[in-house]
Amino acid sequence: MIGLVLLKRLVLSGAAALSLCGTCAAMGGNAAETRKPNFLVVFTDDQTFRAIGYNNPEIKTPNLDRLAAEGLILNKAYVASPICAASRASIMTGLFPQQHGVIALNRGAFSPYLKGGSKADQTLANRLAAAGYHCAFYGKSHIGDPRQYGFSEGVESGPYNDVKTFELAEQFLERAAKSSKPFFLWVAPHQPHVPLKPEQRWLDLYDHKQLKLDQNVREAPNNASINNQGVPGEAYYRDSAYTRNWKNLSAGPPRNDETIRLFTKAYYATVSHLDDQIGRLVGRLRAQGLNDNTVFIFLSDNGYHLGNHGLGNKITMHEESVRVPMFVRWPAHVKKGIKSDALVSSLDVYPTLLELAGAAVPDDAMGKSLVPLLSNPASEIREVVFSECTGVGGKPGDGHRMARGKDWKYVLSDTNEQYLFDQSKDPFELKNLADEEGAELPKLQQSLATWMQHVGDRKYPYPAGTTPRP
Ligand SMILES: [Ca+2]
């Protein structure tokens, strides 16, 4: 591990890169010739934070566990928005949905960031391309052709094409190893988004009867608006996915323990298949001599409810929906086996990669660079992390907002109900403490109010009845 100052100097000047790397003799063309690190981001779809082996021994992800153990695990990673298109637009722009305009699934609002648009130069890929990177994208975009927002090559794949996506990504690495340019490779599989179609060999890894149910699993959601997932609603998603593609079972609410376990089995099996593909991709990285100088970042676009709070799908501000597995691996410079409890956002990918590329980070970027954590995982980069899922129910201002501090989480719900959870004592979010006296509520209310004003939230100023206490 190297110090932050040294890391910055190393990345920005590049001159010392080889002298610090003990395994450089084994490095291939690309890494040996370039000074800037390569970037490989694997961005999965709907993978909740408990759906990875190092957070949950029931799920089998040996490759991801090994890769995570070779770098920095980020325990508290939250997405800017727990829904596909909004989350993807956020990670590519470094902004929250109400800033870039892609609310919920309104991908048309991304047009200013596409080629020829007024904000096209602001995307992550365009900024990295300007810094000398060869940018390639394989997998699910959800916000248009990736070649329209800064990637010089790549394709947007449909569902069930992940095997092809990984093949193309491996072929890219073979070409990249022969190039003198650093690369930025974005791999976005569809797995484990529904409809689930796991092959039998992955299903065979799990006995649904042995799967444990989380403490907050219910047969049906209660009526609290914090659980509103809008239209068409999670029952549609889950019923259709499950009924069509695996077993003729209705898994929508009301559920029972068996249907939840059966769905979880299919979901875990899908993640295990994904894990195998990621393991092969990083194996190719190693085989091409690109391993040491490639920053590998793993995360998902949002989480997923597996019967938690009586829900499937995502869209809520519950942990299952908004918190994702995330780690950073960079063998040349990041120590193995380190973990951080710092509050991290998916928005942090944007400034982190720009900083490591030696490019300027724009003042309006909403994320924080993760670089300090790479050398000191005990450091903090923010006091509160935010998320939003607006557009729930089809109205632009409706939806959920979250301000999550170190131990406490505050949610302003769809219909202006307030929720306060003490994560240190109640990680499954079973007890709402918003009506109890204490310093945490006004503090997080104020944080959220400041954030709402900054992003131009349509609910700002606070709705009547929910005014932050002084
Ligand atoms: Ca998603």
The CATH number covering residue 439 comes to 3.30.1120.10
| Average pLDDT of the segment spanning 263-287 | 96
Residues 356 and 435 in one domain: no
Beta strand 183-188 pairing with 134-139: parallel
pLDDT bracket for residue 248 (50, 70, 90): very low
Q: Provide the pLDDT for residue 290.
A: 97
* Residue 200 lies inside a defined structural domain of this protein: no
Residue 335 sits in a domain whose CATH number is 3.40.720.10
Highest mean pLDDT among 59-68, 232-241, 456-465: 59-68
Among the candidates 343, 362, 382, a domain finishes at: 382
Cα 68 to Cα 51: distance, rounded to the nearest angstrom: 14
* Residue 231 lies inside a defined structural domain of this protein: no
| Average pLDDT of the segment spanning 375-393 | 93
* Residue 55 lies inside a defined structural domain of this protein: yes
Q: Provide the pLDDT for residue 468.
A: 62
Residues 301 and 357 in one domain: yes
Cα 321 to Cα 21: distance, rounded to the nearest angstrom: 39
Q: Which residues contact 107 (CB under 8 A, 6 or more apart)?
A: 85, 89, 142, 143, 144
Residues 274 and 416 in one domain: no
- For the chain, what is the domain count? 2
Q: Provide the pLDDT for residue 392.
A: 73
Cα 283 to Cα 287: distance, rounded to the nearest angstrom: 6
Residues 161 and 13 in one domain: yes
Crossing angle for the helix pair 234-245 and 257-287, nearest 10 degrees?
80
Q: Provide the pLDDT for residue 120.
A: 97
* Residue 289 lies inside a defined structural domain of this protein: yes
Cα 203 to Cα 350: distance, rounded to the nearest angstrom: 36
Q: Provide the pLDDT for residue 361.
A: 98
Q: Which domain holds residue 60?
A: 4-195+264-382
Q: How far is the CA of 190 from the centre of ligand 1 (A)?
A: 8
pLDDT bracket for residue 19 (50, 70, 90): very low
Q: How far is the CA of 312 from the centre of ligand 1 (A)?
A: 13
Residues 321 and 364 in one domain: yes
Q: Provide the pLDDT for residue 252.
A: 60
Q: Provide the pLDDT for residue 223.
A: 80
* Residue 402 lies inside a defined structural domain of this protein: yes
**Sign of torsion over alpha carbons 31, 34, 35, 37:** negative
Cα 389 to Cα 306: distance, rounded to the nearest angstrom: 19
pTM, entire model:
0.91
Q: How far is the CA of 466 from the centre of ligand 1 (A)?
A: 30
Q: Provide the pLDDT for residue 459.
A: 87
Residues 93 and 164 in one domain: yes
Q: Between 156 and 145, where is the model more confident?
A: 145
Among the candidates 333, 348, 382, a domain finishes at: 382
Count of CB atoms within 10 A of residue 355's CB?
18
Is the per-residue pLDDT at 20 higher than 50? no
* Residue 209 lies inside a defined structural domain of this protein: no
Q: How far is the CA of 206 from the centre of ligand 1 (A)?
A: 24
Q: Between 56 and 29, where is the model more confident?
A: 56
Q: How far is the CA of 118 from the centre of ligand 1 (A)?
A: 27
Q: How far is the CA of 460 from the centre of ligand 1 (A)?
A: 27
Type of residue at 426: D
Residues 18 and 96 in one domain: yes
Residues 42 and 105 in one domain: yes
Residues 347 and 411 in one domain: no
Query: Where do runs of H (alpha helix) occur along 116-183?
Result: 124-130, 162-177
What is the rounded (10 degree) CA torsion for 87, 89, 91, 92? 160
* Residue 207 lies inside a defined structural domain of this protein: no
* Residue 364 lies inside a defined structural domain of this protein: yes
Among the candidates 382, 407, 425, a domain finishes at: 382
| CA-based radius of gyration for the chain | 21
Percent of the chain whose pLDDT exceeds 70: 85
Q: Between 220 and 94, where is the model more confident?
A: 94
Is the per-residue pLDDT at 17 higher than 80? no
Is the per-residue pLDDT at 81 higher than 80? yes
Residues 367 and 406 in one domain: no
Q: How far is the CA of 233 from the centre of ligand 1 (A)?
A: 15
pLDDT bracket for residue 12 (50, 70, 90): very low
Q: Provide the pLDDT for residue 23.
A: 35
Residues 26 and 107 in one domain: yes
Burial label, 417 (beta-carbon count in 10 A; 0-12, 13-18, 19+) = middle
Q: How far is the CA of 302 from the centre of ligand 1 (A)?
A: 5
| Average pLDDT of the segment spanning 276-305 | 97
Type of residue at 346: S
Residues 145 and 26 in one domain: yes
Q: Which residues contact 5 (CB under 8 A, 6 or more apart)?
A: none
